[in-house]
Structures are given as structure tokens and as C-alpha cells.
Amino acid sequence: MERDAKVYVAGHRGLVGSALVRALRGEGFSNLLLRTRQELDLCRQEAVERFFREERPDYVFLAAAKVGGIGANSACGGDFILQNLLIQTHVLDCARSFGTRKLLFLGSSCIYPKFAPQPIREESFLDGKLEPTNEPYAVAKIAGVVAARALARQYGCPMVSVMPTNLYGPGDNFDLETSHVLPALIRRFHEAAEVQAPSVTLWGTGTPRREFLHVDDLARACLLVMERYEGEGILNVGTGEDLPIRDLAELVARETGYGGRILWDPYRPDGTPRKVLDVERMKALGWEPRIGLEEGVRETVRWYRESLRG
């Protein structure tokens, strides 16, 4: 990738998109194409076509998506599948039509079957039933992966797909109605510490195991894939290590200074019992994560508290 090439980061204000912008600027890329949702609505085909016709981006990182945790997926499944299908379809089609040299599609580890063998290898794609609580979002992401692969085969336009594990870091969504588990825990325990609440009750049993990757490590992986990977297969991006949600909650409580009791509500959904990715393909490209979970959570807590102070 030439450092003066036109690089479009779709979704540059989100968790992943903002990390990609940081990584690209850090590597000397000077011609980034960035548009807010108000400036470019990716759900509107004519707006996306006009943008691609006028700007002709050389490279595209498709990080724009409607995302959320178990609660948001359960309550707004229709929005999750339709909006993501629209975004993906418009950007993929225009990248193919207007001469984009390469596109990287950001998928999600939720594309894999609920009971896939652990750690999950890329070969488990389309090999079983999905986790019901996020099925609409997962189906949309599956469609994006298949579409990117099919367009690359039919038209010869390079499109690659990466499947990140659970992400966290600066710029995350801390809204309790729509956030993922780690930012939700940070907010819950921060607020409980502020008022010295005697206890905090969390969803589920705390026994499901999850893997967490700092978003800056993902951004480095995406740049590496864009520059070095020419295959059509998907690539997992994660740490290859997981822990119980109960342990994660205790880590977040420590980093936020919360000393009360942690209670669990087993009548709330747990989701997939375990999800950890096999990341040998990415390691073969020369990538490994650099930011440990404890360090990353500490940094994210600090960022969250600074953001509250404005």
C-alpha cells in the first residue's frame, strides 16, 4: 500500500474504525477518506455510489456496522440484519464497480456455530447452528463474507475477510442498553464504586468463557492482512486465550476500585458456552497480539473515566 494511496475507512468513528485510523496515520498514510454517518449514509445506495464515483478509493476497510451485545441483538434483531446487509451490499458492490484495488471486510467470530470445536478454526465456517441470541447479526456477517469471496472470484477484485474475537479499548460503546460485555462491566463497576454500592448483579452464571482482544492489536492485524494476504479464505484474529466471564468481572472490579459483592442472575442468558479462536493463520503471517488483558482493561478504564470528564 503506497502511503499516499486513497484509503477509505468505513465506520471511522466506531471502535474498530477509529483504531484503524490511528494505525494508518501511525504508519504514515496521508490520504484517508473519512465520512461521518451524516455525511455518507451507507444504507443509501445512491449516496454510496456517488461517493465511490467521485473519490475512487484505492483501498477500503469496511468496519462500518450496527453492533451490540446480547440485549440489543435480542431486542432489535430486524435492525441488525437489515442495516448490516445494506451497508455491506452497497460498499462491496461499489468497491467492485469503481476500481478499488483491495477491500478488507470486518466480520465477527459470531459467524461460527454455537458448538464449534474449540479453539475455533476457520474451517468451522457454515458448519453448524448459530447462537440464537445474535443470529440476525451473525447471518448478516456471514452474507458479507460469502459476498466478498464470490465477488473476488467472479470479478478478480481482491477482497479479504477477518474475523475478530471480542474487542475492547478506547472509543468503545459504554451504553448499558447496547454495549458488549466488557465495556458494560467497566461502566457498571465504575458507577458502583462511585456510590460505594454494596453489590452488583450481572447477567447469567458467569461461567461462559470468552476471549478478548485490544482493538489496537486488531488494527495492526488488519494493516498486515491488507498488505500481505492474497488468499480468499477468512482469517481469525484473536489472542487464542480465554477466561470465564466471572474472572473478567473480578478483573474489572479490581481495576475500577470496586470492593463490593458480585452477584449473578442465572435467569438471564449466558450465550455461547465457550468461544476462543484458533489464530495460527494470523501468526503465520507474522502477527501476534501485544497488549495483555490486564494492561488493556486498565487503559480502557482510564480512557472511560477521562471521557466522562470531557
Domain with 93 in it: what CATH number? 3.40.50.720
In the chain, the percentage of residues whose pLDDT exceeds 90 is 89
Mean pLDDT value of segment 210-231? 96
| Contacts (Cβ under 8 Å, ≥6 apart) of 166 | 109, 180, 181, 182, 210, 211, 212, 213, 275
Say if 298 falls within a structural domain.
no
Say if 2 falls within a structural domain.
no
Residues 129-132: contacts with CB within 8 Å, 24+ apart? 131/271, 131/272
Q: Confirm or deny that 215 is annotated as ligand binding.
A: no
Catalytic hit among 112, 137, 168, 229: 137
Say if 235 falls within a structural domain.
yes
3-state DSSP call for residue 94? helix
3-state DSSP call for residue 98? coil
Say if 16 falls within a structural domain.
yes
Say if 205 falls within a structural domain.
no
Q: Confirm or deny that 264 is annotated as ligand binding.
A: no
Say if 90 falls within a structural domain.
yes
Say if 181 falls within a structural domain.
no
Mean pLDDT value of segment 136-143? 96
Q: Confirm or deny that 274 is annotated as ligand binding.
A: no
Each residue's pLDDT tens digit, 144-172? 999 999 999 999 999 999 999 999 999 99
* pLDDT value for 77: 87
Q: Confirm or deny that 292 is annotated as ligand binding.
A: no
The number of domains in the chain is 1
In whole angstroms, what is the distance from residue 28 CA to residue 4 CA? Answer: 8
* pLDDT value for 271: 78
Each residue's pLDDT tens digit, 57-97? 999 999 999 887 777 777 778 999 999 999 999 999 999 99
- Please check the confidence at residue 103 and state whether its pLDDT lies above 90: yes
In whole angstroms, what is the distance from residue 103 CA to residue 141 CA? Answer: 15
Domain of residue 131 covers: 7-171+210-242+274-291
Mean pLDDT value of segment 40-55? 98
* pLDDT value for 188: 97
Decide if 168 is catalytic. Answer: no
